[in-house]
Structure 1
Amino acid sequence: MEHSQRYQLGSWVICPQSNTITNKADTHSIENKSMQVLLFLILHSGEQVTKGQIFEHVWKDSFVADDILSVAVSKIRKALGDNARSPTFIKTLPGVGYTLIAKVKKLDKPEQERSKKIDFSSIYKPNITIGIITLLLIATSLTMYFINTNEDSLVNRININSIAVLPFDDLSSTQDNQHFTDGLSDAIINQLSQIKQLKVSSRYSSFTFRGKYNATEIGQSLKVDALLDGSVQTMGEQVRINVRIFSTKDGQQLWSKTFDSENEDIFTLQDNISDAIQETIQLDYVAKNSIGSPTQTKKINPQAYEWYLMGQYHWRQRNPISLSKAVTYFEHSLALEPEYADAHIGLAITYGNLHHYANWSEKKSFDKSLPHLEKALALKPNSPITLATQGMLLTLKAGYETGFADADSALIQQAHQAFLSSLALDDNATTHRWYSLLLEKLGNESQVIQHMNNAIKLNPLSAPLKRSLSKYLHSIGKPDSAQRMYQRALILEPNHLSHVVDSTHVFRNTRQSITAMAEWHSANADIFTNCSSVEYCEQLVLAYLSIGATDVANNILANMRARHGHFVNSLNLIKFGSKGEEQSILSIKERSALRRPNNRRVLFDLAVAQFRTEKFKQAKTSLLQLKPEWHSPTSVELDDINADSYVTLVLYAVTLSKLGEKEIADNLLHSLQTFLKQKTVFDKIQAEFTLAEINAQLGNVPQSLLHLATALEMGWLETYDREWWSLQSNHLLRPLLEEPEFKLLLKQHREKLNELRAQVIRKLSTISSSME
C-alpha cells in the first residue's frame, strides 16, 4: 500500500503519510492504526468490509480486544465530523463490519513533493527496549530545507506579538513518544520566551488544547495572535518533523517547514527549530547568541536526555504511580550524566511532590531532595526553577522543624528569598503556586490568594491551579466560591484521574458521589494496597464512615502507614460524635482554634461545637470574631447575605434566639429564607437542607419537612470530613425530633444508607482479599 498517495474524501484531504486529514477550515491528526483502518476502507470504497478483514490487515499477528476497532472507527468519525446514526462517510453494518459510502478520489502528487533518504548506518543505536524514539534523540538535528519548495513563498516575516505552542503530535506507529513530543514543545516555548517583545502562552495553558485544532477558538481562549503546532514521525530510520504557524484570526496557515534529520544532537535540533521560527516572526529579530546562551551548554548523552524527558512527563502527572516512575527515569538519566543539572532538579521536585501526593513525610522528602538541590544550585545557581525548588523544599523543612511557629525564623526567611529571587528572574505560575503553600502555612490569606490568582492569570487554562485554589477557598470558609472554582477546573479537565476524590474537599457527599467513589476505588485498587497516597485513603475512609461502611474504612486504615493530623482529628470527632461526647469534641475544636486563630472554617467549627454544648455566649463570641460586621445584627440586610456566609449566618441567628434576641433572630432567618429562594447558591442540595433548618427554627414544621424531604430525595448525606453529627442529631432540626413525619423520613434515610452501603461493599468485595 502506497502511503504517499493522498485522497479526496468529501471536503477532506486524507494524507496517510502524515496521518492527517485536512479541509479549508481544519486539520486533524489521527493515530496510526485509525489511519490504517480509514485507508483500508478507502481502498475498498463502496464494498462491505468485515471486521475480520480489518483485524487481519491492521492488527495482523497481534492480540487485541474486539472493541479496539470500534474505538478506531469512532476516532475517524470524530475527525471527519461523521454521525454513526446518519452517516455521511462510514456506515456500520451490524454484525458484519463497515462500508465507506462517500466518494473517494485519488489526488495527484505535487511535482515538488519528494522524500530524502537519510543514512543512519553510522549512528549509535541504544538499547532497543527504549523504543524507536531513542533513534531520534541520538541521531537527529534538523537541516533547514523545505521538502516542498512551494513553501518558500511562506518564508516572509509574520507580523505577530503573541503565540501559543501546542503539544506536538506523535505520528509514529508505536504512539508511545509523548514524552519526547512534549519535550520538543517545551524547548520551543523556553527558547521563544527569551524574546521580550513576544508574549508566549504558558505550557499549562497551551497544552490544554492537545488534539484540538480550531485555531480561532484557541486564539480567543489564550488571547494570542498565532498558534504553532507540529508533528514528529518516524519511518524506519528516518525522522520527519513538521512545524506550522496558524493565524488565530482566520485559521489560515502563515508558515510551515518540514525538517528531516541528520547526524547531529537533539539540542541543536531544538535550537534550529526555534531559530527558524524566530527568523519568521516580524519583530526586531535578535540573533540567538544575543538572546542568551543555549539552555544546555554541555552536550548531553541523548539516552540521558530521553530519560530526563520521561521523568518530566511523569512528575507532571502528580499522582503516586507517575511520581514513582519519574524517580526511576531521573535516576537513569543521572547514571549516564551525573552533572546534568536539569535531571537533578527534576528529581528534587519529584521527591518534594511525594510528600504532597504520596505518603512521604516532610523530612523524608526533604532529605532525599537535598543532595540533588545542592548539586543543581552548584551547576545552575541562577536558574529560576532551581531557586523555586529551593523555596519549596525549605517550606517542607520548616514544617517538620518549626511547625511555622516563628514566621521570622531564618529558615522561613530563606524560603521567602528563594521564591522572590525566582520570580524576579521568571514570573512563573508554578513558582507562585509553591510560594502560596508557604504563605498558607503562615496564615497570610490575602497573599495566598494574590499569588494563586497570579498563577492562574499566567496559566488561565490550568485545571490543577484552579483545583488548588478551590481547595484553599474551602479551607478558609468560602465553600460556594470553592465549588464554583472547582467547577471551572472540571470543565477544563473533566477526566482528571482523581476527580471523584479531589471533589470531596469542596463538595458534600451525595449518593451519586459515594457510588462514583467506590467505582473509582475499584478501578484503582493498586493505590490502596499500601495507601501510596495518604490523601486519597483519608478521603475514602471519611466518605465510607459517613455511610456506616466501617469495615471497608477499617480495611483502608489498616494499610495506612502515615496519617495527617487533621485526619486523626476527624476520626476522633466521628468517634466522640457517635457516643454523644460533645465536650470531648469541643476540646478538640478549642485546640484547633488556638493553633489557627484567624481561620474562618476553624472558627465556625468552634462555634458549632460551642452551640452543641449549649455554650451560646461563647458561640456568639466566636461567630463575631469570624464576622465582626455582625456586631450590630439589625444592620444585616438581604444584600449583605452571600453564598459563602449564609450557613454561618443561620447559626448566628439561632444563637441570638437562644440568647433571648428572638425578634432579631427571626428577622435574620426570614432574610436568609428570601436569599435562598433566589437560588443563587451553587450547592442546591445544601441550600434545600438549610431551608429545612431555617423553617424548623421558625416553627414552620410542614415547610421544614417538605424542604428536608426534597434535600434527601436529591441525595443529601452526612459528610464526616466537615461535620461529626448525623441527621438525627442535627442541632438545627431539633424542633422536628418528635414529629412523626420526621421519624418516617429518618427511617427512609437509614434504609437508603443501608442500600448504598451494601452496594459499596459488593463493588469493593472483588478487588482484593483485603476488601473481603
Structure 2
Amino acid sequence: MEHSRQYQLGIWCICPKTNSINSKFDTRTLDNKSMQLLLLLIQHAGNTVTKDEIFTRIWKDKFVTADILSVTISKIRKALDDDARNPSYIKTLPNEGYVLIAPVSEVSSVKPSRFNKRVMFWFLAVFSMLLAVLCTWYFTDVRLKPNSNPTVKGLNIQSIAVLPFNDLSVSQDNVYFTEGLSSAIIHQLAKVKQLKVISQDSSFFYRDDINSSEIGEALNVEAILEGNIQTLGEQTRINVRVVSTQNNQLIWSQTFDSDVPNSFQLQDKISTAVRKALHPEFSSPTVLAKSINAQAYEWYLMGQYHWRQRTPSELNKAVSYFQHSLELEPDYAEAHIGLAISYAFLHTYGSWGELAAIDAALPHINKALALKPHSAQGLATLGMILSDKAKATGDDSLYQQARVAFTQSLQLERNATTHLWYSTLLTRLGHQEEAVVHLEQAIILNPLSTALKRSLSYLYKSMGKQNSADLMYQQVLKLAPNSALRPFERAKVKNHTRASVLAMAQWQVASPDLFASCASIEICEQQVLAYLSVGAEQVAEDLLDKMYPLHGHFRHSLSLIALGEAQNDALILTKIQNQAFRIPFSKEAHITLARAQFRAGHFVEAKKTLIQLYPHWQDNEAELQSNIDADNYFVVTLYAASLMQLNQPQLAMRLLNSVAAFLTQNHVHDKVQAKFVLAEVNSQLGNSQLALQHLTEALKMGWIESFNSQWWSLSNNHLLKPLHEMSEFQMLLKQHIKNRQELRQNIMRHINRNVSDHSELK
C-alpha cells in the first residue's frame, strides 16, 4: 500500500506519509507500527485480519509478545476515540484477530500546479519554522510546572484506583518509569486516611481498553486516575486525569512538562500535586526530596519492578539493580529498602537460608530508616525482617519490635503489603483471628491479588478450616486459572489425588529450570512430599539431593513419614507433642496432636486436646451436633471416635450419625475427602458395607495418601481399623496399592524421559 495515499475513515482523514490522522477539530499522530497496523486493517476493511497475519506483516522476523499487539491496537483506538466495548472502528475477535468495521475510502487528490507546489513549499517552510519556535518555547521552560488547567478543590472521592501510565513514546522504553510514577502516586494517596487507594497489583491489571465502569465495579472504587507519558528527545510531557467510574466524566486533569526525562523530582512533584488535588488540606513539604542521580533512579525503578515478580531469578536481578543504584547514590533510602526486601525474599521464594537472608537485609533497612525514619515502606520492611528473625532465632522480644514497626507504618499509610506482612506476624504470635482481619483489609485494598487470597487460604488451613481454605483457593484459580504454580499451590491447600500428583510430575518435566537446582526450596518440599505419598522414593531423593538447607518444618514432616512407615506411633506422638508445644496457638498443630494421641491409644488425651480447641463441646451435646460444618466435620469425627473408645458409644454414635447426615448434604467442597471421611464415619458406626461402598467411591475419585498433611497410609488408617480384617477391604487395599504403583511408575517414566532428553541435548 502506498504511503502517499490518504484515506477517509469515519470522521478521520488518515495520512500515512505524516503518520497523522485529522478531523475538522483535531490532529493526532501515531507511531510507525501503529500506522502500519491501521493501514493493514484498512487494506482488509470488513474482513478479519488474524493475529498471525499481523505479526507476519508488521513485525516480520522479530519476536514480539501478544501484549505488544494489544498495546498497538489500544493506541489506534485512543487516537480514533474508539471504544473497545462498543467499537465504531475496530472490532476484536477473541483469540482470532481484528476487523475494521467503519466505512473507509481513498481520498482523491488533485495534482498541484508548479505554482501550487511553490506556494506549498514556502507555506510548509514557514509553518515548520513557526512550529519549531513554538515547540522550543513550549518545552524549554525547565521549571516543572502544571499547565493552566484549573484544579477542582475538594473532590468528593472516598476510593480510587491508579492505573499504570501509558507510554506514548515511539521507542516504548519507559515501562519502569511509567510503573514507578503510578506506584509513587499510589503511595502518596495511601497516606490520606479517608481515602481507599487500590494497590498496584490490582489496579495494574487494567492496562488497555479502559472501561471505567467495569473497573469501578471490579475494584469497588468511585474514580480512576490514568495518564500518559510522551517523550521527544529530552522533552517529557505527562498528562494526568481523574475520571468518575459512575458516569465516565472527567473530574480533574493536569499536564506536566519537563526537559529532564525520567526525573526523580518529576515523579515526586506530580504525585504530590495529585495528592493535593484530591486532598486539599494536604500541604506540600517545605523541603523537596533530595535530587537523585538519573541513572541511580532508573536502576531503582528496575529493581522495584523485578522484586515484585517474586521468583528466584527476578529477585537476583532486583538485587543487582539496587546495588547499581546504591553505587551511584549510597544514601538513597528507597534503594536500601528495595534491596532489603529482595534479600529477605530470597529465603521465602528462593534457596537462601533464613538467617543468611535476614543478615543480608538488616543493614540495608537500618540504613534506610536512619535516612528516612518516617518511611512507611521502610517501617513495614523492618517489621517483616524482625518477624522473620524472631521466628528463626526464638527471640520473642523481636516480635514486639516488629509489631511496633507495623503499627507505625499503618498509621502513616494504608498499604496492602503491610497488612499482609503484619498478618504473618500475628499468625506467629497466635492471634490468627486478628491476622484474618488484616488479610481481609489487604484484599479490600488489593482485590485482584492472587497472593493475598492464597495467603488467606493457607491461613484458614492452619486454623483447621479446610473447607474455607478450599473455597478461598477457588477464588485464586478464578483470578489466575493458568498459573504456572497451580500444582504447588494446590498441594499446599488440598489433599492429594492421583491426578494432582501426576500433574506435579508433569509440571516438573515442563519446568526444568525451576527444578534443576531447586531454586525454590518451598516448591521442592511439596514436590518431595507428593512423590513420597505414592512411594516414588528415588525421584524424591533426586530432588532432596538438590535442596539445601532443609527447612525445619520439612525435616519434621520427613521424620514423621519415616516413623509412620515403621508404625512407631509412640515416637510420632513425642515429636508432634514437641511441635504443638512450640506453636501452642496453631489449631492445625493441635488437631494433628489429637490424631497422634488417638493413634497411640491415648484416647483421654485426644479428647482433652480437642476440648481445649473447642471448649463449648464439653457437656453441650446439642450445640456440638448443631454446629457441625464444612470446616470441622473431620474433627467431630475424631472426637466421636475418641468417645467410642472411652465407652461413651451413645453420644459417639449420635455425633457420627450427625456427621454422616451433614456430609450427604453436599456442603463440602472437597468431594473426594468428604467421601473418604464418610467411609471412616461408617466404619466407626459399624456400618461395614456402607463404609466399604464410600471407600470404593473415594478411591475411584482418586483419593491417595497425602503426606503433606498426614503421615499414615490407607493400610494403617486407624479410623478404618474395624474394616482391616475384612476380605473386601483387603481387596480394595490390594487394588489401591496396584494403582499407587502404576502412578509411581508413570511419574518415574515422565521424570526419566525428561532427564534422558536433556542428556541427548547435551
Range into which the TM-score falls when normalised by the shorter chain: 0.7 to 0.9
* Partner deviation per Cα, 1:735-772 (whole Å, 9 max, x = no partner): 33344443343333333333333333333335447998
Residue 323 (structure 1) aligned with residue 320 (structure 2): no
Counterpart residue number, 1:130: none
Structure 1 counterpart of 2:222, one-letter code: D
The answer on whether the counterparts of 2:225 and 2:243 sit within 8 Å (CA) in structure 1 is yes
Q: Which moved more, 1:169-178 or 1:221-230?
A: 169-178
The answer on whether the counterparts of 1:323 and 1:350 sit within 8 Å (CA) in structure 2 is yes
Residue 547 (structure 1) aligned with residue 547 (structure 2): no
The answer on whether the counterparts of 2:177 and 2:262 sit within 8 Å (CA) in structure 1 is no
The counterpart of 1:222, out of the listed 215, 219, 222, is: 219
SS in 1 for 2:259: strand
Counterpart residue number, 1:182: 179
Q: Which moved more, 1:671-680 or 1:252-261?
A: 252-261
CA distance in 2, matches of 1:119, 1:336: 37
CA displacement at 1:345 relative to structure 2: 1.1
The counterpart of 1:528, out of the listed 499, 515, 521, is: 515
Structure 1 counterpart of 2:43, one-letter code: L
CA displacement at 1:233 relative to structure 2: 5.0
Structure 1 counterpart of 2:104, one-letter code: K
Residue 345 (structure 1) aligned with residue 310 (structure 2): no
Structure 2 counterpart of 1:582, one-letter code: D
CA distance in 2, matches of 1:176, 1:728: 61
Mapping for residues 158-557 of structure 1, pairs under 5 Å: 159-162=155-158, 163-170=160-167, 177-193=174-190, 198-211=195-208, 213-232=210-229, 241-254=238-251, 262-263=259-260, 266-271=263-268, 273-274=270-271, 277=274, 285=280, 290-292=283-285, 297-401=289-393, 403-404=394-395, 407=396, 409=397, 411-557=398-544
The counterpart of 1:752, out of the listed 716, 739, 745, is: 739
* Partner deviation per Cα, 1:160-201 (whole Å, 9 max, x = no partner): 413221122345566664332211111222334455665433
Counterpart residue number, 2:630: 643
1:255–1:413 Cα change, 3 Å: closer
* Partner deviation per Cα, 1:338-385 (whole Å, 9 max, x = no partner): 111110111112112222222223321222122212221221112122
CA displacement at 1:723 relative to structure 2: 0.5
Unaligned runs of 5+ in 2: 22-29, 108-127
Q: State the 4+ residue runs in structure 1 displaced beyond 6 angstroms.
A: 1-7, 11-17, 30-35, 47-53, 67-79, 87-93, 114-121, 139-143, 154-158, 235-238, 769-772
CA distance in 2, matches of 1:194, 1:674: 52
Residue 761 (structure 1) aligned with residue 748 (structure 2): yes
CA distance in 2, matches of 1:158, 1:424: 23
Structure 2 counterpart of 1:292, one-letter code: P
* Partner deviation per Cα, 1:123-169 (whole Å, 9 max, x = no partner): xxxxxxxxxxxxx9xx99976459xxxxx7x9767944132211223
RMSD across aligned C-alpha pairs, in angstroms?
4.4
SS in 2 for 1:733: helix
SS in 1 for 2:224: strand
* Partner deviation per Cα, 1:300-329 (whole Å, 9 max, x = no partner): 111111111111111122222221111011
The counterpart of 2:692, out of the listed 702, 705, 708, is: 705
The answer on whether the counterparts of 1:160 and 1:225 sit within 8 Å (CA) in structure 2 is no
CA distance in 2, matches of 1:487, 1:397: 33
CA displacement at 1:64 relative to structure 2: 7.3
Residue 567 (structure 1) aligned with residue 554 (structure 2): yes
CA distance in 1, matches of 2:360, 2:304: 18
The answer on whether the counterparts of 1:242 and 1:259 sit within 8 Å (CA) in structure 2 is yes
CA displacement at 1:223 relative to structure 2: 3.1
Size of the aligned set, in residue pairs, is 718
CA distance in 2, matches of 1:90, 1:659: 67
CA distance in 1, matches of 2:674, 2:406: 41
1:161–1:770 Cα change, 3 Å: same
CA distance in 2, matches of 1:704, 1:253: 65
Counterpart residue number, 1:612: 599
Q: Which moved more, 1:253-262 or 1:623-632?
A: 253-262
1:264–1:562 Cα change, 3 Å: closer
Counterpart residue number, 1:128: none
* Partner deviation per Cα, 1:554-608 (whole Å, 9 max, x = no partner): 1110001111111111111111212222222122112212222342212211221
CA displacement at 1:15 relative to structure 2: 12
CA displacement at 1:49 relative to structure 2: 7.7
Mapping for residues 89-168 of structure 1, pairs under 5 Å: 100=99, 102-105=101-104, 144=146, 159-162=155-158, 163-168=160-165
Unaligned runs of 5+ in 1: 22-29, 109-113, 122-135, 147-151
The answer on whether the counterparts of 2:236 and 2:261 sit within 8 Å (CA) in structure 1 is no
CA displacement at 1:82 relative to structure 2: 11
CA displacement at 1:728 relative to structure 2: 2.1
CA distance in 2, matches of 1:233, 1:398: 48
CA distance in 1, matches of 2:449, 2:274: 26
CA displacement at 1:503 relative to structure 2: 2.7
Normalising to structure 2: TM-score of the pair? Answer: 0.82
The answer on whether the counterparts of 2:235 and 2:259 sit within 8 Å (CA) in structure 1 is no
CA displacement at 1:646 relative to structure 2: 0.8
Counterpart residue number, 1:127: none
SS in 2 for 1:732: helix
Residue 679 (structure 1) aligned with residue 678 (structure 2): no
CA distance in 2, matches of 1:4, 1:346: 52
SS in 2 for 1:244: strand
The answer on whether the counterparts of 1:141 and 1:269 sit within 8 Å (CA) in structure 2 is no
